[in-house]
């Protein structure tokens, strides 16, 4: 049976609490055992099992990976932190990252739920009006010796087509309502949909910005701890195991480095980082502060990707509200135009 993954809020809280325990000098195994004692029954079993693996000699990243309930980015970044001696920092970075993801999920739910329900209701109303109400107006108008023409006639024809397709429309509307409700309210369904979208469009737009920020964070941790650049790039690429294109960019960068190209130029030519970030990194490398500059680059890229995602989410609600308003206008036209024809004929 497939294990259910933890919510973003649960991942954020777990990483933050474990980081605080490590900072206080508590070992990873003991820290997981302490957290297990304080958690609910379901999480207690998970954390107890992870604590047992760490006490048995497994690495913290291996314990997280074997649990099967954490995304690859969690296990990958923890592994980078362990290899670089910055496990605590990796956990804090993960906590902040998934805290932002949870906040964005709440914004998505807020932006989608009410406008989506309104949009579906408007669709139901307009289908009923076009398929059931307009034919009545047409019969009244025909009894007066006239016939609906122009926009009103076109709406009537549309209504007849909708009436013939009514069973299919009902099924489609019900499916749309269920999908929108699940997407806005159910984390598992939303993650599956977004996972499919990432596989198809994951190397474009906002998704690519997020991936670039993740790679930069891993590179910053590796450089800060003195890991070889090749190993840092390998670890950064492993974080993107679900996106071969991102892994290929890291592999291309390694090839450029092996050919003698400096880091900033290799990152630019392989499109691992944006050109502006590469120019900033080049200046830092010349001044001997490459690791510090890389951390700043990673922080900026993370902020930019978050801002871009929030902006995209913020556009959803106005678009849906505008669509609903247009549907309301169509409803008014579908009713008022036949009435105007009838009043003209009577007058």
> pLDDT digits over 282-296, tens only?
988 888 888 888 888
Average pLDDT over residues 95-105: 79
Task: Say if CB 51 and CB 32 are below 8 A apart.
Answer: yes
pLDDT digits (tens, 9 = 90+) for 301-345: 888 887 887 787 777 767 767 776 776 676 667 666 666 766 676
Average pLDDT over residues 153-180: 71
Helices within the chain (DSSP H only): 8-23, 28-38, 41-55, 60-67, 72-84, 87-128, 134-143, 150-164, 166-185, 187-201, 205-225, 229-238, 244-258, 263-269, 275-286, 290-346
Assign 3-class secondary structure to 212-279: HHHHHHHHHHHHHHCCCHHHHHHHHHHCCCCCHHHHHHHHHHHHHHHCCCCHHHHHHHCCCCCHHHHH
pLDDT higher at 64 or 150? 64
CA 238 – CA 232 distance, rounded (Å)? 10
* pTM of the shown model: 0.64
Q: How many CB atoms lie within 10 A of CB 324?
A: 19
Q: What pLDDT sits at residue 2?
A: 38
Q: With cut-offs at 50, 70 and 90, classify the pLDDT of residue 150.
A: low
Q: What pLDDT sits at residue 231?
A: 75
pLDDT digits (tens, 9 = 90+) for 249-282: 888 998 998 888 888 899 999 988 999 999 998 9
- Among residues 215, 268, 288, 267, which one has the least CA distance to residue 246? 215
Task: Using the Cα atoms of residue 68, residue 69, residue 74 and residue 78 in order, give the sign of their dihedral.
Answer: negative
Q: What pLDDT sits at residue 17?
A: 92
Please determine, for residue 172, whether its predicted confidence score (pLDDT) is greater than 70: yes
Work out the mean pLDDT of the chain and round it to a whole number.
78
Q: Specify which of 33-42, 48-57, 93-102 reaches the highest per-range mean pLDDT.
A: 48-57
Average pLDDT over residues 7-25: 89
Average pLDDT over residues 239-246: 75
CA 54 – CA 27 distance, rounded (Å)? 9
Q: With cut-offs at 50, 70 and 90, classify the pLDDT of residue 68.
A: confident
Task: For domain 209-309, give its CATH number from 3.40.190.10, 1.20.81.30, 3.30.70.20, 1.10.10.10.
Answer: 1.20.81.30
CA 191 – CA 36 distance, rounded (Å)? 26
Q: What pLDDT sits at residue 37?
A: 86
Q: With cut-offs at 50, 70 and 90, classify the pLDDT of residue 18.
A: very high
Q: With cut-offs at 50, 70 and 90, classify the pLDDT of residue 1.
A: very low
Q: What pLDDT sits at residue 19?
A: 92
Q: What pLDDT sits at residue 4?
A: 54
Q: What pLDDT sits at residue 50?
A: 92
- Among residues 330, 335, 320, 342, which one has the least CA distance to residue 113? 320
CA distances from 194 to 105, 187, 191, 320 (A): 12, 10, 5, 20
CA 294 – CA 342 distance, rounded (Å)? 73
How far the first Cα of the chain sits from its last, in Å, is 73
Sequence ranges of the chain with CATH classification 1.20.81.30: 209-309
Q: What pLDDT sits at residue 20?
A: 93
């Amino acid at each position: 049976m497939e294990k259910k993954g933890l919510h973003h809020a649960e991942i954020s809280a777990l990483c933050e609490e474990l980081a605080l325990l490590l900072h206080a000098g508590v070992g990873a195994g003991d820290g997981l055992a302490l957290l297990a004692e304080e958690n609910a029954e379901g999480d207690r079993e998970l954390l107890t099992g992870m604590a047992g693996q760490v006490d048995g000699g497994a690495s913290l990243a291996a314990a997280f990976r074997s649990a099967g309930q954490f995304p690859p980015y969690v296990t990958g970044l923890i592994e980078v932190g362990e290899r670089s001696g910055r496990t605590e920092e990796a956990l804090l970075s993960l906590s902040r990252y998934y805290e932002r993801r949870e906040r964005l999920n709440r914004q998505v739910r807020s932006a989608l739920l009410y406008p989506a329900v309104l949009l579906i209701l408007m669709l139901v109303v307009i289908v009923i009006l076009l398929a059931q109400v307009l034919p009545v107006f047409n019969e009244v108008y025909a009894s007066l010796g006239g016939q609906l023409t122009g926009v009103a006639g076109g709406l009537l024809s549309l209504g007849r087509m909708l009436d013939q397709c009514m069973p299919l429309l009902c099924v489609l509307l019900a499916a749309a309502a269920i999908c929108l409700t699940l997407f806005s309210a159910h984390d598992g369904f939303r993650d599956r949909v977004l996972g499919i979208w990432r596989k198809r469009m994951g190397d474009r737009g906002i998704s690519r910005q997020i991936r670039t920020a993740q790679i930069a964070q891993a590179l910053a941790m590796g450089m800060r701890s003195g890991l070889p650049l090749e190993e840092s790039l390998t670890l950064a690429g492993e974080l993107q195991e679900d996106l071969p294109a991102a892994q290929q960019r890291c592999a291309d960068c390694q090839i450029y480095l092996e050919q003698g190209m400096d880091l900033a130029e290799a990152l630019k030519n392989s499109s691992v980082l944006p050109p502006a970030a590469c120019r900033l990194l080049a200046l830092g490398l010349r001044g001997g502060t490459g690791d510090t500059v890389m951390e700043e680059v990673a922080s900026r890229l993370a902020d930019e990707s978050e801002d871009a995602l929030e902006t995209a989410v913020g556009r959803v609600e106005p678009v849906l509200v505008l669509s609903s308003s247009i549907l309301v206008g169509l409803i008014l036209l579908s009713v008022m135009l036949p009435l105007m024809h009838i009043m003209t004929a009577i007058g």
